[in-house]
Every structure is written in C-alpha cells, then in structure tokens.
Amino acid sequence: MSDSHSLLDTIADSLAPVHRDGHKFIAIALVVTLLLFLIWSPLGWIAALITAWIIYFFRDPDRVTPLRDGLVIAPADGKVSLIESVRPPAELELGDEERVRVSIFLSVFDVHIQRAPVAGRIIRSLYIPGAFLNAALDKASEENERRAIVIETATGTKVGVVQIAGLVARRIVTLAAEGDSVGVGERFGLIRFGSRVDTYLPPGAFAAVAVGQRAIGGETVLADLRSTEPEREARRH
C-alpha cells in the first residue's frame, strides 16, 4: 500500500496545474477531437495529441522563489538568448543611460507564465502593437507586438520587463495592472504560443547568467544588485 501511495505521489508531483487562460482552448480542442473521432478515428488521434500539447502548453507549475533583497529573478522560462548593454526602449521611460538587457526566448514547449523579477509596484504598463517577427531576432525588441512593464521596488530601484510576441504568438495576456503591487515571483502575465521576455536591469548591474543558459521563471537569479561581481563568463560542455 505504501509503495503504491508513493508512486501515486510521484506521478502527482510531476503534473502541473493548468492556468485558467487555457481552459477555453482545451475545451475547444476536446470538442474538435470528439467530432474527428466520429468522422475518422486517425484524425481523432491526431487531434488528441494536439489537445495533449495544449494542456501541456498552459501548465502553471509552482516555483520556489529566492526572497533576499537585491536579487532579480528570471521572469520567464526559456533559453537566455541575448545579454547586452543597451539604451532601454522609450516606452519604458527609464532614461537614456545604458542598462544590461537579458533576453529569454520561450519555445512552444516552455512554460509561458511570466513572473515578477522583483517585488514592488507596477508604475508603468503599456501595450505597443507591432509585427510578429521571430522573437529570437534582436530587432523583435523594437518591432514586435509587446507590453512594456516597469516595477519599482520599495527602495526606488526600477526594473523593466517587456513581453514580446513572437512568430507564432498572437496574444499577450496581462494578469496585473498598472498601480498593482506584486511580490517577487508572482504571476503577472503570459504569452500564448512562443515568445520572448526582456529584462532591463538597473544601471551598473551585471547579469548572473550566461547566453545559452536555461532560465526557470520565478527561480533562476538573473542578477544580484548587492554583488560587485562582473559579468560572468561561461563555457558549453
């Protein structure tokens, strides 16, 4: 009995709940799957696989977020695709001083929930319509549809986060509005079906991750504002 219970616990722990934004897509997929099974079973099995992927896409796992002051946490799951010092986009209203931008690319297989990189108040949230270029491209930061968010901490530090729609993504969902207070690691949005998230660190801060590294939203430390460590170097093995 105990072995069976342990196995069930292990299976349950590996399953993540589905975010409510995905419920309508799953319902539609299930109806289509049933209809296709009635028409021709091979089509039904194909639809069943697509339905399973939709359930997987909208998974919303719990995360264990570091709480020490000064840490900037990854807002999204995915691959760190770019780290560079740039002037922040005008829509963030963060001035002209260069900041390190950490870009995380989300494939269609990554968790697509975005989480607050720091605790504070959302002092700016602006939607910008645009194109749907490949989110991995550098120019996607300026040309793609996106939502620009600035979170100000209790000490006045401002961190910018930009949700960028990609080649497949067609919808940026906002779960927290301008003026809301958010805790570090708290869910603030999601992007449907492939995208990118840029984080603009405070001036003088260095990234604690490297290009090519996998980030886990709500858990991976992007930067330590209390540290004097320079930008990290890394090697792929």
Q: List the catalytic residues.
A: 195
- Whether residues 14 and 94 share a domain: the answer is no
> What Rg, from alpha-carbon coordinates, does the chain have?
19
- Whether residues 15 and 89 share a domain: the answer is no
In this structure, the number of other CB atoms found within 10 A of the CB of residue 157 comes to: 18
Average pLDDT rounded to a whole number, residues 39-54:
93
Count of the separate structural domains present in the chain: 2
Average pLDDT rounded to a whole number, residues 16-32:
87
**Residue 219 falls within a domain, yes or no?**
yes
Please write the tens of the pLDDT for every residue from 116-139.
999 999 999 999 887 666 555 666
220: CATH = 2.70.70
Who has greater pLDDT, 87 or 4? 87
- Whether residues 211 and 150 share a domain: the answer is yes
Contact between residue 211 and residue 82 where contact means Cβ atoms under 8 Å apart: yes
Q: Which amino acid type is present at position 136?
A: A
**Residue 75 falls within a domain, yes or no?**
yes
- Whether residues 97 and 178 share a domain: the answer is yes
Contact between residue 110 and residue 215 where contact means Cβ atoms under 8 Å apart: no
Who has greater pLDDT, 18 or 63? 63
Q: Record the tokens describing residue 131, joined without a space.
A: 């194109």
Q: Record the tokens describing residue 132, joined without a space.
A: 């749907």
Average pLDDT rounded to a whole number, residues 145-152:
93
- Whether residues 53 and 82 share a domain: the answer is no
- Whether residues 50 and 137 share a domain: the answer is no
Please write the tens of the pLDDT for every residue from 66-112.
999 999 999 999 999 999 999 999 999 999 999 999 999 998 888 88
Range of the domain at 33: 2-57
73: closest CA among 121, 120, 119, 12?
119
Please write the tens of the pLDDT for every residue from 158-195.
999 999 886 665 578 888 999 999 999 999 998 877 68
